[in-house]
Structure 1
Amino acid sequence: MSENLRSQIVTQGVQRSPNRAMLRAVGFKDEDFNKAIVGIANGYSTITPCNMGINQLAQRAEVGTKTAGAMPQVFGTITISDGISMGTEGMKYSLVSREVIADSIET
């Protein structure tokens, strides 16, 4: 895994002690602060069958990221069920929601 230049912004230096304390609370060890931190967006949800298998994929991505020498951090995303919203006012938001979901992951 290449240098963690972006991750160093939040892990290196005295001024980042609070950041490291928070990351220790989620399982980071001393050596982990020298690794790249990789975010894994997980859209798993039980509200729609489309998202039921995503958690297994996120878990596999987490294992692969660790194997590559980085520190994976899994985070959830919002989701919408077209099947539930079909025929309701909510259906108007189905396509728009994809942009909102993509924006939330990027943020």
Structure 2
Amino acid sequence: MHTSTATLTALHSPHALSVFTDRLARYRRMPVDAHGFIVSIPDAGRVLVRQEGRSLTLNVVAADEATLAASMAAVVSELEQGFGRSDFRRSISIRWQRRDMVPVALR
């Protein structure tokens, strides 16, 4: 399995992250604990979303590199649709990191 984590940080307004989490409310979600949930995003699959202080982390998992890249692109597409393509990059910083371990909630 291949996994990647996106860290989303609001650049100006702390409410920018709520725009994204509100958008995710239209998809089926399953609570994991008080700070996280799993949401099924079309073309991305299951995504673990966690509130980490003033940022959000999103974990995506896929069977191969090509599917992982498509999942990551689908998450970015959700952000662009929620904010508008140009406003997204001015509102939120996104940093992707590859991980060696799949989060327990996504196993």
**Structure possessing the higher relative contact order (Cα contacts under 8 Å, 6 or more residues apart):** 2
Structure in which a larger fraction of residues adopt strand: 2
* Superposition TM-score, scaled by structure 2 size: 0.31
* Superposition TM-score, scaled by structure 1 size: 0.31
Q: Which has the larger radius of gyration?
A: 1
